[in-house]
Amino acid sequence: MDRNIIQPIDTSNRGEKKTCKPHGIMHQFMLYKSISSNFIAPSLENRGNFRHIMMENQRNRREDDMDHGATGPAASRPNLLNNLLRFFKPSNSTGPDEDLRPRSLTVFGSAEEAVYSDLINCKLLKVLDLKECNNLEDKHINNIYKLLHLKYLTLGSSVRGLSDKMGNLHCLETLDLRKTKVNTVPVEVISLPHLAHLFGKVKLNKLSSKKLDKFLSGECNLETLSGVVVERNSQFPELMEHMKKLTKVKIWCVITSTDGNYTKLSDAIRKFAQAGTDTSQGARSLSLHLNASSNEMVHLSATSRKAGLAPPVFYLSSLKLQGRLTHFKEFAKALSGLRELCLTCTNLEGPILLACLRELWCLVYLKLVEDRIDDLDINLDGDLASLQRLCIVVKQPRFPTIAQGALPGLVSLHMLCKDLEGVCDGIKVEHFKHLREVALDSEVNQETIELWENEAKEHPKRPKVLLLKRVEAADTWSAAKYVATDQRSSELLVEGTP
């Protein structure tokens, strides 16, 4: 990365490089080496013993043909099924039904129906990535249920439902439904013996008494469930208590305090948070989206139901809360070991929020997403001494005040507001001696970028000034996300692009 060979695109909350991409020249070299070793095939033009196949849509292929001067019918794409059979089969194969070679298949854009019908012959397939396949329908995935060696499966935006035949995929470890329109998953999915990671926003089918007893009597290997919608009469609270290996869970809570599941879910959350030291699975992460009628959920989880019991101690490393909070201080007292905290649309007043944050002695990362947050004054020397990364996202350019000496360990400061003009009076870059980066919204004006660049140049550490692009969430429940742009602030200044 220091030599710009591998370029980081996204970082985790702890500052670790999360996603990277190679430089253009390095990418070509890696591609050449991968093809030479029969590892990857970027097209269907050459025959080989490749293990990973990437297939592009027809439009991209026609554009490539035109770029190379091809015209007329000869430039159109051949039948995709014939290409698959010719490309995947061994050189001595003769019949059309012989097993195909690939262990991994990725399809981008549109694909012909022949691809889906031919999947049954890819019996050795372990990884199937159809996330960017835009014409994949429910009828097309029936053959996927026959791929018994499949370990990783991700589906595209046109998929609306899953069959109970998913129970045939005994080897499946990761199922990614985030781009699909799947709202409900059958119990056969969470009952898969090796399934460890389930991504999406789904509800769980209601189980019969027989199926429920069978699930509770077996072992659940789920480690990541991100996430599940809990509504009235949902059986998830009972199922969650049985998921002993769960380390990361995301819950959309749409129930009210009058529902019978309200207390059950609160108890399940408390048991999940308290079980952190009872397993060898490491730190635990909880993401909780609350509606207006469930904002007492956090308070119930933080209090003991029976009189005379000591307050609970939670062993969470990461916590995300979205929705109005009324009793967050009691919850914060049980989170002394928390390292990452994200609060979205909580409407907590500044003094109350600061009192809660002072309970979190180990906090390393803090993200606050509000309309405005100018009533937060961090003014004590040594306040939040362990905090290293601070991210503030506001609609109005009203930021908190941070006095000199507060946040002594801060290395990353994100001030994200598209209407920000100039530097913030209450936050001085010079006060943070160890600062290494400052991030702004990519839509701020050019003058503001220049002012922050100048502030960074005068700092002894000369922190980088980054521009992050806002990506709107797919649903109203989730907050907008910021991702890195392809250009740095200095490059945008030279080109004159705001």
Confidence of residue 28 (pLDDT cuts 50, 70, 90): confident
CA dist 6 → 11, 12, 26, 30, 490 (Å): 14, 17, 8, 12, 20
Residue 55: in which H helix or E strand, if any? Answer: strand 52-55
Among residues 377, 371, 418, which one has the least CA distance to residue 398?
371
Residue 197 pLDDT greater than 80, yes or no: yes
pLDDT at 475: 60
> What is the b/e burial string over 326-341, where b = at least 16 CB atoms within 10 angstroms of the residue's CB?
ebbbbbbbbbebbbbb
Identity of the amino acid at 33: K
Integer Cα distance of 225 and 203 in angstroms = 11
Question: 299 versus 389: which is more confidently predicted?
Answer: 389
467, 441 Cβ separation under 8 angstroms: yes
Whole-number pLDDT of residue 83: 47
The overall pTM is greater than 0.75: yes
- Share the mean pLDDT of the chain: 80
pLDDT above 70 covers a percentage of the chain that reads 80
**In sequence order, what are the beta bridge partners of 343?**
321, 368
Q: How confident is the model at residue 277 (pLDDT cuts 50, 70, 90)?
A: low
Partners of residue 106 on adjacent β-strands:
54, 129
Q: Which of 9-13, 121-125, 300-304, 352-356 has the lowest mean pLDDT?
A: 300-304
How much is the pLDDT for 114?
60
Give the phi and the psi of residue 306 in degrees, each rounded to 5.
Answer: -100, 140
What lies within 8 Å, CB to CB, of 374 at 6+ separation is 350, 398, 399, 400, 401, 426
Question: If 0-12 CB within 10 Å is exposed, 13-18 middle and 19+ buried, where does residue 280 land?
Answer: exposed
* Block residue for tokens 């998830």: 236
Q: Looking at residues 415-444, what average pLDDT do you find?
A: 92
Question: In the block, which residue shows the tokens 């080496």?
Answer: 33
Residues 399-411: what's their mean pLDDT? 92
Q: What is the pLDDT of residue 496?
A: 35
pLDDT of residue 80: 42
Q: Per residue in 288-300, pLDDT tens? A: 998 876 667 776 7
Strand partners, 127: 104, 152
d(CA 471, CA 479) in angstroms, rounded, equals 9
∠ CA 67-35-121, rounded to 5°: 95
pLDDT at residue 177 greater than cutoff 70: yes
For the cut 90, the answer to whether the pLDDT of residue 191 exceeds it is no
pLDDT at 390 over 90: yes
Q: Counting beta carbons within 10 angstroms of the beta carbon of residue 401, is it exposed (0 to 12), middle (13 to 18) or buried (19 or more)?
A: middle
Q: What is the mean pLDDT of residues 26-44?
A: 78
Kindly give, in sequence order, each residue whose CB lies less than 8 Å from that of residue 258, ignoring residues fewer than 6 positions away.
none
Least confident of 137-141, 154-158, 351-355: 137-141
- What pLDDT sits at residue 354? 92
What whole-number percentage of the chain has pLDDT above 90? Answer: 35
pLDDT at residue 247, as a whole number: 93
Domain assignments of the chain as residue spans, ordered by start: 222-363, 371-498
The secondary element (H helix, E strand) that includes residue 250 is strand 248-253
Q: 220 to each of 121, 147, 225, 240, 424, how far by Cα in Å? A: 31, 22, 12, 10, 50
State residue 387's pLDDT score: 95
Which ranges of 334-445 does DSSP label H, i.e. alpha helix?
A: 350-357
User: 66-122 pLDDT, tens per residue?
Assistant: 443 433 333 333 344 344 434 444 444 444 444 567 888 888 887 766 666 777 778
Least confident of 181-190, 219-228, 321-330, 454-463: 321-330
Write the DSSP symbol of residue 164. G
Strand partners, 377: 401
Q: What is the token pair recorded at 216?
A: 């509770």
Q: From CA 250, how far away is CA 241, in angstroms rounded?
A: 14
